[in-house]
Amino acid sequence: MRRLAFWAWGQIPNPDTMIVATIGDLETLDPAWAYDTASATAIFNIYETLIFYEGEYVDRFVPMLATSWEISEDGLVYTFTIRKGVKFHEGGDLTPEDVVYSLQRALIQDRAGGPIWMMLDPIFGVHSIEELAEKLGSDEAVYEALQKAIRAEGDKVIITLDHPYGPFIQILAGTWASIVDKEWVIEQGGWDGTANWRPWHDPAAEESELFNKANGTGPFKLEAWVPGEYISFVRNENYWREPAKLARAVIKVVPEWGTRLAMFQAGDADIIAVPRQYVAQMDELVAQGKARMMGPFPASICQTGFFNFYVTEGSPFMPLLGGEPKPDLLADIHLRRAINYALDIDTYIQEAWLGEAWQLPGVIPQGRLGYDPNLPKYTFDLEKAEEELRLAWGGELWQKGFRLTITYNQGNLARKFVAEMIERTLESFNQKRQEEGLRGMFVIEVQDLPWPTYLKYMDAGQLAMFFIGWLEDYAHPDNWVKPYMHRTGAFAMNQHFDTIKNVEFTPVYATWLPAKTYDTLQDLFDELIEMASRETDFAKAEKLYFELNRLAHEWAINVGHIQLLARHYEQLWVQGWYYNPAYPGEYFYVLWKG
């Protein structure tokens, strides 16, 4: 009754168009290149994968471009029957050869900092295509290996793994496994499907032939992308399923909160990104019957502050020690511990996230194998922070002072909040240092960057300390320890853990392992991660993940690592939305207005 009365005084704005106002722009439209939620949101509305998530579940799957699939008893062979009668947006017919090409194209592209490690490891037992080329001895041998690992037989595509890997089926539901039209991509200048794959390996975003073009099989077609402003989609009228209810969808880039709120209140946006600092304003609209809030939901999302142990040359954010460049400033464990003790984590969670988050020790979140509730956590402790600061760099840091830039993406107020908390606390020690007659200052600079620029600096290893989030790719602890700790991980590859040499390891949980000295901290992390991912004994795998979580905590590889609860705000006329933590953003196919 109330809803009927509400619509009596006005029509629904843009009734066949869904408008989302968000904070950051996408990086690319290339499914094999994209590894951020903004890009993935666009991609999974345009393209499709062999399988897809069943509604709200992250561990149940339904047929998409494959009508069925089988897994061999030994877990090594996956056979997919490819759907017939599916057309790409530009008119091409979907074939098994398109599927083979799409997956092989992703594997040979394997851009630095991208998502393709997830497929390379189970299929070839390597973490990069370069590693495979080195292992096999030539690019031609890599091509031959690709043909054996992923091949078409009639209406089927067969994928053969190097070793059993339980989460592999989940990996194939990600946007990086989207299916492209082979002939069309080649026409755009893409890989020609031959052994000469090297020219298409590891391109910059703009160098990819699919950077700003798209031709999928999904429910929406690309209409326009104006970087920094918006991306728009139009309904695919020839969709193999029932066409979408919406005729159009638009994602607008609106970094400033006040503008997004004004758009929502004017009916110019149907769904908006709401930083936690502003949920009270939205909750007031909800209470007035002018908006709908869904949640909070337990999320497979963490927010984390990352330390770069060695900032690469030429960085505009180069740390200083006593006024001199110090690229390895954060390689000192005492400084990293001091920063952890300098963060009032409880206030951060309460103020920035309204208490809707959990502090995590290590890297593995609650609900995943390897999470240890008994692992200690860093607490806000100024005495311990000072003690560690005095020890950093053999006392030189306390004596001479230092400069450190903390970066975050423009418009993300929660990340701004936590960075400024750390800034205030660390700089507060200057008073005591001045009383001791010390001249050099502790200078913490907090700087925001546009999202694409931020990611470019991060991928180049040029950010000294940065806050960013991680949305789980698939529901398994491997998808936490690899990005956070493995040398090929999305974050770890830019943290340079190999700066730490001669690392002694004595197991605490995995007691069947011998004590051992590793050349670098990175070598220790990598070996344990690879052991855990291949371990078929559940109890042993759990203990290996316990070890990794413990090491992440003891080495203080991050700060402010929290697991979030999620909220969603929408206009009352938005229908069909549901929460799946694996979705990067809005799946427009299930939405409509009414």
pLDDT tens, 449-507? Answer: 999 999 999 999 999 999 999 989 988 999 999 999 999 899 999 999 999 999 999 99
**What is the predicted pLDDT for the residue at 348?**
97
pLDDT band at 10 (very low <50, low <70, confident <90, very high): low
pLDDT of residue 537: 86
CA distance 228 to 224: 12
Q: Is the separation of the CB atoms in 474 and 447 below 8 Å?
A: no
Residue 238: left (phi > 0), alpha (psi -120 to 50), or beta? alpha
Question: What CA dihedral angle connects 451, 168, 494 and 388, to 10 degrees?
Answer: 110
Provide, rounded to the nearest whole percent, the portion of the chain with pLDDT above 70.
98
Mean pLDDT computed over 348-360: 94
Name all domains of the chain by residue range, CATH numbers in brackets: 1-23+219-291+571-594 (3.40.190.10), 31-37+48-210 (3.90.76.10), 299-564 (3.10.105.10)
Tens digits of residue pLDDT in 165-185: 988 999 999 999 999 999 999
* Confidence label for 7 from pLDDT (cuts 50, 70 and 90): very low
Q: Residue 5 — pLDDT band, cuts 50, 70, 90? A: very low
Q: What is the pLDDT confidence band of residue 1, given thresholds at 50, 70 and 90?
A: very low
Residue 560 contacts by C-beta under 8 Å, 6 or more apart in sequence?
303, 304, 305, 343, 345, 348, 418, 467
**Greater confidence, 11 or 80?**
80
pLDDT in tens, 213-243: 999 999 999 999 999 999 999 999 999 999 9
Q: What is the pTM of this model?
A: 0.82
- pLDDT (tens digit per residue) in 561-580: 999 999 999 999 999 999 99
Q: Give the C-alpha distances (Å, rounded to integers) separating 37 from 257, 267, 412.
A: 19, 25, 14
Q: Reply yes or no on whether the pLDDT at 112 is more than 50.
A: yes
- Write out pLDDT tens, residues 40-60: 999 999 999 999 999 999 889
The residues, any chain, with a CB within 8 Å of residue 114's CB and separated by 6 or more, are 32, 33, 34, 35, 176
